[in-house]
Chain A
Amino acid sequence: MGRNPTLFLTEVKDLVNAIEVKNITKVFPEVVANDNISFEIKKGEIFAIIGENGAGKTTLMNILYGLYTPDSGDVYIGGKKIIHNSPKKAIDLGVGMVHQHFMLIPKFSVTDNIVLGQEFTVNGLVLDQKKSIQSVREISEKYKLKVDPEEKVENLSVGVQQRVEILKVLFRGAVILILDEPTAVLTPQESRELFDTIRALKEQGKTVIFISHKLKEVLEIADRIAVLKNGRVVGIKGKEETSEKDLARMMVGRDVIFESPKKYAEPGEVTLAVENITIIGDKGIPTVKNISFKLRKSEILGIAGIEGNGQAELVEALTGLRPIESGTIKINDQVIEEFTPWNIRKKGVAHIPEDRRKRGLILPFTVSYNLILGRQREKNFSRSILLNNSGISKYSEGKIDEFDIRPRNKNLKTESLSGGNQQKIIVAREISYNPEILIASQPTRGLDVGAIEFVHKRLVDQREFGKAILLISLELEEIMMLSDRIAVIYNGEFVGILNRNEASEEEIGLLMLGAKRQPKEEMRV
């Protein structure tokens, strides 16, 4: 080819792939999770894999990590073909995985967690704590991942726990790191730190596989991006040759609108009035202090704040799961006295809970049974003491169509659906409840762009229909996009309530961090 042979050689050396995947197919009883997937990841590359919930990302990663065996196709790690993969083999080959849900022992120290299973010993018997701590310190300095080796993991913030997870993987000699939705649990600041870490790892020659469904992040951090859809690779693009819109179109299969879908409606009368409530948290100290606000018809009130500032307790009180210590809650001018979920539901309050698996769904139930959960005594779904199964079926089929719940099978067990479709069940149920007040707590957590757009549109629709919506979210972007008014909660108090058009992202950020406080008389209660 007329090339300089030496140059050619170095090129080959540089081009050695960290991972090669050839024609991987994995079939599960109901779905083809991975359908003939092929790609290469170069050494020292940050390679992102994006796709909707259920697109097959996790299956693919589990294959790379040796948890699943593909039905057909080959995996090459460091140029070597892997025949019977297992996590142990993957680790030996330098593949490390940081799971979305951490695998740490809270009561153990950082060091103990990192060296677990590979402890240093004296004479093979006694643990050599000093040496362990020393080596953790070294590795932490080497990769600029700051941790205190002697601190207990339970005392660490989520961001630092993730750092420990990464260190754990590096300690085991990983050269290829798989990060499964690493930012899902992080605050924006923590995400930024994680990105710095990832860049540092790249500088050290590590290969990073970054799984996400947040397009902005991927464009910020990745060198190349593979888009999965329905188990297939629909495209692999370099960072420069693509855009958020382009990726979203590939992922969802159509154009996605990123702008706020809302028109401005005129808020109506007050439906929910909260006056000076104080709530005691699990630890016996007040976590919500003297909060007051009013929620009107045709209005979305967003509550912004960093996780753990009292949002969870506030929602629990408003939905009847937690008693209030003092103050009053009025729904349509009626003071609520009985704080039970059924009483509050009866008053016309529906809620999309933050934790869908724990509070939103009965996972072993069928889709149709979950679609009527809480409404099983209504006329359409029961005749005196008997369930009206034909009524339930007809209703669920309608809702499955209307809310595009997939797969379209009302008799599937809910646990076999993807997270996004599970969330759609909850949204369908709660909106169909036709409530006067809808409390939506993190309604799009863990969802992909298509599903987020869908949920947002439904929430805004509800507002147009004259409903009052309380939106609690950790995603500032979501709050800014949907709310008419924004309340900021910090350390259990409302430190500001602003009209959307007067609020800037910076100002809300400062309020969230507690760096600023709006004077009481300026709050748009």
Chain B
Amino acid sequence: MNELLHWWNRKRENVLDFAVPIMAILTGFFVAAILIKATGKSPIDAYRLLIQGAFGRTFQELLSLRLAGEGLLKGGILALTGLSVAVAFKSGLFNIGAEGQFIVGSITAAFLGFKLHFPPWINIPIILLAVILTSGLYGALAGYLKVKKGVHEVITTIMLNWTAVHLIENWIVVGPFNILRYYPRAIRAGTPYVQDNSRLFPLFEGTRLNATIFIAIIAVIVVYYLLNKTVTGYEIQATGKNPEAARYSGIKTGKSMILAMFISGALAGLAGACMILGTEKQYPGVFRPGYGFDGIAMALIGATSPIGTFATSLFFGFLRSGATSMQLIGIHKTFADIIQGTATLFVASQLAIRYLIMRLEKRRKPEVKEIIKSEVPK
């Protein structure tokens, strides 16, 4: 008991860092349960179906990845957009433009995936590099406007989202790069299908799980390393935590911000590329899956740390793939969004939560202090 209290005193901050997102998610489930109840359904059934839908009914089914693969796939995409938002946060910027950068990456992948005919091990890396470049530059544009012109990044990234949507969906996809230009008798809307050499194929029979999850894991590791082990990461974090002091110390804060926005854009673009090369195979007529915006929630719930964001993304990946099964008893799958929304709201109000925890702690203070006091060196 004694030791436990000491540990708590030392690690309180760290524990809270961990406890807040978990409590947030639990609150999300709780609120959604009330709503499910209100629609006359049983929350327990709903959540049982949710878990079964996410992982499978049996251990064999779990191992077969038939259902779990879907969660990993969605989780991978969410992790990439989540990291995108998190990296921007680290430099002190709020990138709401992950959605725009996502579709810029998507169209790049759709175009090169169709045009390039090298073997897969050349084709795919080239496409991904090109996506990093185009989406990265698209993100960096917002950073540039912030640094050089002083325009707030929230404004520019929202505007760039719409710029991307209109340029891509109302021009490129219906105009110069429409499927009908290449296959006049095609019946689908959107762009031509990518070459097989460009596809990220499912890794296991009977699943849709592809290399996306590995790309996401590599991205997590790279971002973690970049932020914590490199000079650039040091400068980005210094800029994010105190731009004035960073600038005063001689760090080129503008450069750090633009670079962070480049990385942010590139990560969102990779998510788009993974979807196009993996599951979509083309840029569809209308393609706004909202993963860019979901990235904001992932980064916030994951406390903007690469690993936290990744864990959160996997969790919501499973939640979403499982939520489809809730439809069996007539609950709409968007109930997963309610959980996500509530959790985000909870995290956004975490200062209040931390305060509450501190208050609770204070109430049972007497025992704590006695023990600590006796240990104080005189």
Q: A residues touching B (Cβ–Cβ < 8 Å)?
A: 25, 27, 29, 32, 35, 69, 71-72, 319, 321, 341-342, 345-346, 351, 353, 358-365, 369, 373-374, 376-377, 382, 385-387, 389
Contact = CB atoms under 8 A, between A and B. Distances in A.
Contacts of A359: 244-245, 248
B248 A353 contact: yes
B170 interface: no
A27 B249 contact: no
A360 B248 contact: yes
Given A386-B229, A386-B231, A72 B251 contact: no
B234 A363 contact: no
B373 A362 contact: no
B149 interface: no
Contact of B246 (A32, A35, A362): A362
Contact of A345 (B245, B250, B362): B250
A233 to B, nearest CB: 14
A398 to B, nearest CB: 20
A387 B234 CA distance: 8
Contacts of B244: 358-359
B252 A342 contact: yes
A175 to B, nearest CB: 29
14 contacts: A27-B369, A35-B376, A71-B372, A72-B369, A341-B248, A353-B248, A358-B245, A362-B237, A362-B241, A374-B249, A374-B250, A382-B231, A387-B231, A387-B234
Interface string B2-22: 000000011010000000000
* Interchain residue pairs A-B with the least CB separation, the first 8: A374-B249, A71-B369, A342-B250, A345-B250, A374-B250, A362-B242, A373-B249, A359-B248
A255 to B, nearest CB: 25
A29 B10 contact: yes
A75 B230 CA distance: 52
Given A341-B249, A359-B245, A27 B372 contact: yes
Contacts of B370: 72
Contacts of A369: 234
B241 A363 contact: yes
Interface string B226-265: 0001111111011001101111111110000000000000
A377 B231 contact: yes
A374 B251 contact: yes
B342 to A, nearest CB: 28
Contact of B248 (A321, A363, A385, A389): A321
Interface residues of B, number: 30
A389 B225 CA distance: 13
B365 interface: yes
A32 B9 CA distance: 13
Interface string B54-72: 0000000000000000000
B249 to A, nearest CB: 3
A362 B248 CA distance: 11
Contacts of B9: 29
Nearest to B239: A362
Contact of B238 (A25, A319, A346, A365): A365
Contacts of B373: 25, 27, 71-72
A382 B373 CA distance: 43
B242 A361 contact: yes
A71 B372 CA distance: 10
A177 to B, nearest CB: 28
Contacts of A358: 242, 244-245
B250 A362 contact: no
Contacts of B237: 362, 365
Contacts of A341: 247-250
Given A72-B370, A374-B251, 17 more contacts: A25-B369, A27-B373, A69-B365, A71-B372, A71-B373, A341-B249, A342-B250, A358-B244, A359-B245, A362-B237, A373-B245, A373-B246, A374-B249, A374-B250, A382-B231, A386-B229, A387-B233
Given A29-B10, A72-B369, A376-B231, A364 B241 contact: yes
A251 to B, nearest CB: 20
Contacts of B10: 29
Contacts of A363: 241-242
B376 A32 contact: yes
B172 to A, nearest CB: 36
A69 B9 CA distance: 17
Nearest to B9: A29
